[in-house]
Each structure stands twice: as C-alpha cells, then as structure tokens.
Amino acid sequence: MKSEKLTKVILFLSSLTILLVASGMIYSLAGGSVLAFKTFGIKFIYTSVWNPTEGSENYGALAFIAGTIITSVFALLVCLPLALSTALFIGEYYRDKPVSRIVGTMVDLLAGIPSIVYGLWGFYVLRPLIVDLGLSPQGYGIFTSGIVLAIMIIPYATSISTEIIKMVPNDLKEAAYSLGATRLEVITNVLIPNARSGIFASFILAFGRALGETMAVTMLIGNANVVPESLFATGNTMASVIANQFGEADGLKLSSLIAIGLLLFIITALINAAGKFIIKRFS
C-alpha cells in the first residue's frame, strides 16, 4: 500500500516539472524583456526602427512581426491547395492504394528534412531560379522564403487533413452518390463540409509551424529590418532576427531580442491552442 502511494507521488511530482518548465519559460522571457519594454513601452510592438548604434539605440518589433505574419500567410496560401489536394489524393481518391502509400511516405519525408537543408536548397536552387525569372534582383525576400516555408509545412497540414477526410463515414458519401452526385460533388458537398473543422485546425497548426521556422527563413528572406513593401521585397521575421542578431547582443539589444522571443512565444502558443481546441471540439 505504501509503495503504491509513493509511486503516485512520484508520478504527480514528475508531472509538475513540465508545468514548472512552461511557467519558468514565461517568467524568464518576461523577465528578460523587462528592460526593452521599460525603455520603449508598448511602442516596442508598433514601431519598426532597429538601430543598434551605441548611444542612440532604438528598437521596435513591428518589422519582424509584419515579416513573420506576411511570410507565414503567404506560405499558408501556397500550401493550402497543395496540401488539400494531397490529402484528397491519399484519403479519398487513392485511399488504401499502393500509390497513396508512396505519396504519403514522400510527404512524411518532407517533415524529416532539417530546416537548414531546406534553407540550402532554397539558397542554391530556388533563389537562382527566382533571379532568372526576373522576379527579384538577388532572389532573396518574402516570396522565396514563403515558398520554402510552404513546402516545409505541407506535411503538417496534410497528415491531419488526411486522417480527418478518412474519418468521414462512408455511408454519408454513399447517400450522396445514391442521389446522383458525382465524386466532385460528394467532395464539395459532403466530404469537405463534414471534415472542415479538422481541416481548418490542421492548417492552423501548420501556420503555427510557419511562424516559428528559423533557419530556412534566415537564409532566404534577406534579413532587412524593415516592414516589407511587396511580396518580392526583403524583410525579416521574429525567429530569424533572433538567430541573426543574437551573437553580438547584450544589454538593451539582448532584452529586445528576448522581448521578440516572448511575443513569438505568445503568438504561437495562442495559434496552437486554437488549433488544438478546434480539433478537440471536433472529435
């Protein structure tokens, strides 16, 4: 009896550690950003200066917040038709066929490629292509990094969508077929409406992934600390400015980078919580 109680106590105490780590993270990020917020106030969030010159140091996160959201939204828009088609391919058109297993494995492989390898591929293969097409003189920018991001998040958007599409009961589809619907009509009127919250949630989670991606974006976005003016302009994201500027940072600059980390943490946590909430309510 005594040992049973002890076991339960050990299990409970272990579970506390993850809560401690999580709350410690918030505490440390908040603590580290105090200096930045004290110096710049709430203005830190909506100004876009980034001036590390000693004596006139001035930092604002707007350029990075804007860059993060623009690249991620663009990546999501590119990813959407691709991931949805692939989910339909695996989960509906070629369900349980060998070809869908091959496609599924290939999509899984995409998730296994490290971010830095995506960055290299984008730098050496995609970027020259974009220069050749005359889309941008150097090939860096929102567009390039957005395309690579889109490829990176495809497996996250696809895998959950596929599962949800497979879960739509067969007799609903058959009911629609028995009324004379074509497969396309079954997909648009029965399959997608029944799977929509799950599909929506999977894209939210994929969006959360895109927001936090660092290496591939750093290597492709051009690292310009300004609010991007067009799809082909250079910019910077919250994750990549931390990676880029961290090495030489201390004092106010370090605090500003930590503050950006805190903002990124909050945004991704909210996005992920929303995605999980939708999935939970759905299932």
Q: Residues 179 to 198: which contact other proteins by CB under 8 A?
A: 179-187, 189-190, 193-194, 196
How far apart are CB 226 and other proteins at their closest, in Å? Answer: 21
Helix (H) or strand (E) holding 80: helix 62-88
Instruction: Print the SS3 string covering 143-193.
Output: HHHHHHHHHHHHHHHHHHHHHHHHHCCHHHHHHHHHCCCCHHHHHHHHHHH
Which residue in 165, 233, 268, 278 binds other proteins (CB under 8 A)? 268
Size of the site for other proteins (CB under 8 A): 99
Task: For other proteins, give the closer residue by CB, 3 or 53.
Answer: 3
Distance (Å) of CA 266 to CA 14, 21, 69, 162, 255: 25, 15, 14, 29, 16
How far apart are CB 55 and other proteins at their closest, in Å? Answer: 26
Question: Does 239 participate in binding other proteins (rule CB under 8 A)?
Answer: yes
Site for other proteins in 133-172 (CB under 8 A): 151, 154, 158, 169, 171-172
Give the distance from CA 197 to its chain's centroid: 18
User: Cα separation of 179 and 90, whole Å?
Assistant: 25
Residues 196-235 vs other proteins: string with x where CB under 8 A?
x--------x--xx-xxxxx--xx----------------
What residue has token string 């696809």? 158
Torsional sign, CA 213, 121, 113, 80:
positive
Task: For other proteins, give the closer residue by CB, 53 or 216.
Answer: 216
Task: For other proteins, give the closer residue by CB, 5 or 56.
Answer: 5
Site for other proteins in 70-129 (CB under 8 A): 81-83, 85-86, 88-90, 93, 103, 106-110, 112-121, 123-125
- Residue 187 CB partners (closer than 8 Å, separation 6+): 88, 92
Distance (Å) of CA 257 to CA 4, 197, 216: 47, 35, 19
Task: For other proteins, give the closer residue by CB, 164 or 242.
Answer: 242
Task: For other proteins, give the closer residue by CB, 151 or 164.
Answer: 151
How far apart are CB 62 and other proteins at their closest, in Å? Answer: 19
Site for other proteins in 31-50 (CB under 8 A): 32
Where on the phi/psi map is residue 136: left (φ > 0), alpha (ψ -120 to 50), or beta? beta
Which of 47-55, 131-139, 224-232, 264-272 is the region at the interface with other proteins (rule: CB under 8 A)? 264-272
